[in-house]
Structure 1
């Protein structure tokens, strides 16, 4: 298991109170500041904590349209197309995938006409065979990790209670 019960408590605080100081986190958790700092350093080194925010809203930045664009790529050109996608500012994420298509991108746009312009830009990229677009209508579950962190914490407690131990 990548984290233990204390790590889970730390992660919960990072999610719920992201602007709190390390000293205050240590006080809340009832642990030494050095212990907390060592844990935070390890969580970052292990890739559990990958950033510190802030989280921005594309809609508040004038890009309220969200679409998922599947991109089919000519065989052998995945890296080149991936590099080209990184140059398109409206593409906020891109993943290599299995299934229908080779890449899945998350695209934001000012309006539907702007979305069409972005898609046309993608279609013109060397190595792109075709695209398929799905427009998001409403966010039903916002990006979140706290439920996962809580689940990991429950598993760590259960392992500890059953004698599985912890770090």
Structure 2
């Protein structure tokens, strides 16, 4: 990844509906260059798609919680597959330390969170959970500072 790749991704992050031709015009490079770079970044897995940026609270899922799960040894894939089937489970990370999996959950209310946690606890091979409710998100998920650093490298 180089400075032009980073500048292209920053442009698409700001305006995801821009076409290849408009990107090439704004970046001052040929249309084929932009297309080739986008194709390469998609093939390599850097650019995974153009999903809409959704506000889950506006969709009715205003509560976010994080659960640390301890699971039976050797059962990570099986547990992760079951967790993926629970719609309110937004992401799962295998971790080091006291827990084995770190899970981000959304819910409509405290009662709804209890329902979701009960589903998580019912997953076979989940031994123990510890759940914390997020009060706010002072730094949301981001990648912009990393792209800006790369864009400035050349």
Q: TM-score, normalised by structure 2?
A: 0.96
Q: Aligned to 1:27, which of 15, 25, 28?
A: 25
Q: TM-score, normalised by structure 1?
A: 0.89
Partners of 1:58 and 1:88 lie apart in 2 by 16
Partners of 1:137 and 1:100 lie apart in 2 by 23
Q: Aligned to 1:63, which of 61, 64, 68?
A: 61
Partners of 1:125 and 1:13 lie apart in 2 by 42
Deviation at 1:65, TM superposition (A): 0.3
After superposition, where does 1:1-167 map in structure 2 within 5 Å?
A: 3-154=1-152, 156-157=153-154
1:51-80 deviations in Å (ceiling 9; x for gaps) = 111121221111100000111101121111
Considering only aligned residues, what root-mean-square deviation do their CA atoms show, in Å? 1.0
Secondary structure at 1:43's aligned position in 2?
helix
Deviation at 1:153, TM superposition (A): 2.1
Partners of 2:7 and 2:51 lie apart in 1 by 19
Runs of 4+ in 1 over 4 A off after TM superposition: none
Instruction: Structure 2 unaligned segments of length 5 or more: list them.
Output: none
